[in-house]
Structure 1
Amino acid sequence: MRESERISPKYKGLDTWGDEDVLSALWDSQMAAVAAVRPALPSIAAAAQAIVTRLKAGDARLVYVGAGSSGLLATQDGMELPPTFGWPRERLTFLMAGGSAARLSLEGASEDDADAARQEVAHYHLGEADVVIGVAASGGTPYTVAALEAARERGALTVAIANTPGCRLLDAAEFPICIETGLEVIAGSTRLGAGTAQKATLGMLSSLVMTRMGHVIDGMMVSVEADNIKLRERAIRIVSVIAECDEAAAKDALGRTQGKVKPAILVAMGMAPEDADRRLNDNGGDVRSVMNLIQAQ
């Protein structure tokens, strides 16, 4: 029996407990799930380093694979990359058991369809230029395992996130990340402890990757898509802090760079917009490197 399906005697009679006692048990489980991520930090770091190397080598896509709750968490992580880090949407692909409809109405049968997973890997022509991240609490979901195996056979870089040691999904990946969360308060409901650990791991992994890709400086998102009032105000603050100028100068710089934060930082430091774009292109979009060159001069 998979670990996530086992019934814990600790929660016998759970439904007869008082509300605060049930919540206390759930809270303890959530805290333990987050703590379970720490031992996996070396594995997460190794995966991030490999992902960055692959992404910087060309137009590699980030591909998220999953079923059910794990698939939803994986999809959420990927969907947040474009607005937060300016990651190109054309370099982002989702393989969800059951297709797009499963994001609104989960059903279980599709997670057993290994053939569908292999067909989707072929349909999207996944291969050497891609990074594929598969997520499954049990680590035995046929759809997710088959997708990772097929993608690896075609040369893609493969990363697995699972909550069960020694599972098939971890064996299928070049970079396995095991987050051992143990038994759930509600047996089999991996949206709870396992899901919390998956969410934390996905967020940490993608945030480290995007930081190493040059999209974060001093804890600020310098590739943010400023497409609403809140984000435009955030962009002004980011430029002001990094370029060490007042907000009026930051706003003016953003106006001269069509709202793009990275070149606006350089413009606020005295560079012409066209020179800012050129210097960023010459340095792979790494604004920190360009700033260091300016300061050295």
Structure 2
Amino acid sequence: MEKLKTLTTEQRNESSMHIDHLPTMDILKIINEEDRTVTEKVHEVLPEIGKTIDVLCQSMKKGGKLFYVGAGTSGRIGILDAVECPPTFSTPPDLIQAVMAGGDGAFRQAVEGAEDDEAQGAADLQERGVTELDVVIGIAASGRTPYVVGALKHAQEIGATSVSLTSNKHAKISRYADIKIEVLTGPEILTGSTRLKAASAHKLILNMITTTTMIKIGKVYENLMVDVKVSNYKLKERAKSIISTITSVSNEEAERVLNETNHEVKPAIVMLKTGVSYAEARQLIAQAEGFVHQAIALVDETKK
């Protein structure tokens, strides 16, 4: 097993060697300067992120799912991204899942030794019913977490697409990945504290993966979230605003049609844009594979 001190993320950062003697503003400037490098490092791995998204889109079209696997901070980042997708894009809760060493309870309180159990990583994926249609993204800043290694090994064994996300080059988890995302954020301002730059980079990348995938499978119209799940007052107001913005109707009319569609934004837009019924709008959206603009275009074509 690789020694921690040889990893880039475990090296000492020269810019923060005397950070414990500095006044508040000087500490903040160092942190801010280091954080500014994160987006540049993410930019360097855009091709690998793009490959992941393209594979994931194809997977989901065939009925596949996305699984994030991680321990500690890496696991928590996966959970944060996964739980945001259902309310934002009305995805089924099991479409994007986070599998964390020690179970969901480890989100709040660390489970000692959970990340060191390679066999459990595989077992947890088996329990979730991962298949060859799915995509498994193993997240580990160090790139050596046994739990994640076990999960990626299992993914490869069953034919699922495996992706590694790490902040060290030639990481161990990358040996078991079809796509390797190694975003080299360098030494942290607190040696080894990868909840800082490494975690920020990984969060950005997960945002990119799910957001772009949702765009590419039809859950966005222009730059509006037309598959938002209306589950509270704020989201209902947002849904009305989206409908009104796209169709130029009043908020009152948007609300009336939204109620007709059981609070589904997509069919409301198609109905107002084309004059079709709710049932017809749903059928058109299905025919257009979820894309609102294509559903509207289908009606326009029949009128020619």
Q: Aligning the two structures, in what range does the TM-score lie when normalised by the shorter sequence? A: over 0.9
1:47-62 matches, cutoff 5 A:
47-58=52-63, 60-62=64-66
User: How far does residue 273 in structure 1 lie from its aligned partner after superposition?
Assistant: 0.5
Structure 2 distance, partners of 1:95, 1:52, is 20
What percent identity do the matched residue pairs reach? 33
Query: Match of 1:215?
Result: 219
Q: Residue 284 of structure 1: which of 269, 275, 289 is its match?
A: 289
Which runs of 5 or more residues in structure 1 are unaligned?
none
Change (3 A) 1:243 1:152: farther
Whether contact under 8 Å (2:287, 2:295) holds in the other structure is no
Letter in 1 for 2:264: K
Whether contact under 8 Å (1:34, 1:196) holds in the other structure is no
Structure 1, residues 99-152: CA drift from partner, whole Å, max 9, x if none? 122111024521111011111122222121211111111111111121011112
1:235-254 matches, cutoff 5 A:
235-254=239-258
Letter in 2 for 1:248: E
Letter in 2 for 1:2: L
Structure 2 distance, partners of 1:201, 1:93, is 16
Which runs of 5 or more residues in structure 2 are unaligned?
1-5
Whether contact under 8 Å (2:59, 2:65) holds in the other structure is no
Structure 2 distance, partners of 1:238, 1:186, is 44
Structure 1 distance, partners of 2:103, 2:166, is 21
Letter in 2 for 1:46: K
Structure 1 distance, partners of 2:224, 2:176, is 35
Is 2:23 aligned against 1:18?
yes
Q: Residue 293 of structure 1: which of 275, 278, 298 is its match?
A: 298
1:51-200 matches, cutoff 5 A:
51-58=56-63, 60-200=64-204
Structure 1 distance, partners of 2:156, 2:60, is 16
Using the TM superposition, name which of 276-285 and 179-188 deviates more: 276-285
Using the TM superposition, name which of 238-247 and 127-136 deviates more: 238-247
Query: Match of 2:207?
Result: 203
Structure 1, residues 169-211: CA drift from partner, whole Å, max 9, x if none? 2221112112110010001100100011011111011100010
Letter in 2 for 1:216: V
**Number of corresponding residues:** 296
TM-score, length-scaled by structure 2: 0.94
Using the TM superposition, name which of 15-24 and 127-136 deviates more: 127-136
Using the TM superposition, name which of 182-191 and 129-138 deviates more: 129-138
Instruction: Tell me the secondary structure at the aligned position of residue 37 of structure 1.
Output: helix
Query: Match of 2:229?
Result: 225
Using the TM superposition, name which of 72-81 and 234-243 deviates more: 234-243
Structure 2 distance, partners of 1:24, 1:206, is 31
Whether contact under 8 Å (1:152, 1:158) holds in the other structure is yes
User: How far does residue 43 in structure 1 lie from its aligned partner after superposition?
Assistant: 1.2
Structure 2 distance, partners of 1:26, 1:107, is 29
Whether contact under 8 Å (2:72, 2:101) holds in the other structure is yes
Query: Match of 2:3?
Result: none
Whether contact under 8 Å (1:117, 1:147) holds in the other structure is yes
Query: Match of 2:278?
Result: 273
Using the TM superposition, name which of 4-13 and 49-58 deviates more: 4-13
Structure 2 distance, partners of 1:266, 1:79, is 28
Query: Match of 2:14?
Result: 9
Letter in 1 for 2:53: A
Using the TM superposition, name which of 99-108 and 200-209 deviates more: 99-108
Structure 1, residues 12-36: CA drift from partner, whole Å, max 9, x if none? 2210011111111111111111221
RMSD between aligned alpha carbons? 1.3
Structure 1 distance, partners of 2:241, 2:151, is 42
Whether contact under 8 Å (1:77, 1:202) holds in the other structure is yes
TM-score, length-scaled by structure 1: 0.96
Structure 2 distance, partners of 1:212, 1:222, is 13
User: How far does residue 282 in structure 1 lie from its aligned partner after superposition?
Assistant: 2.1
